[in-house]
Amino acid sequence: MEKLITYFRHVREEIRKVIFPTKIQVKQASIAVFIVVTIISLFLALVDMLMSSIVSIAIGS
Please indicate, yes or no, if residue 9 is contained in any of the structural domains: no
pLDDT digits (tens, 9 = 90+) for 2-44: 999 999 999 999 999 999 999 999 999 999 999 999 999 999 9
Please indicate, yes or no, if residue 1 is contained in any of the structural domains: no
How many angstroms separate the CA atoms of 59 and 61, rounded? 6
**61 pLDDT more than 70:** no
Under 8 Å between Cβ of 53 and 61: no
Contacts of residue 21, Cβ cutoff 8 Å, sequence gap at least 6:
29
pLDDT at 12: 95
Please indicate, yes or no, if residue 13 is contained in any of the structural domains: no
Domain limits at 38? 20-61
pLDDT at 28: 98
Reported residue count of the chain is 61
Domain count, the chain: 1
Q: Sign of dihedral through CA atoms 26, 32, 34, 36? A: negative
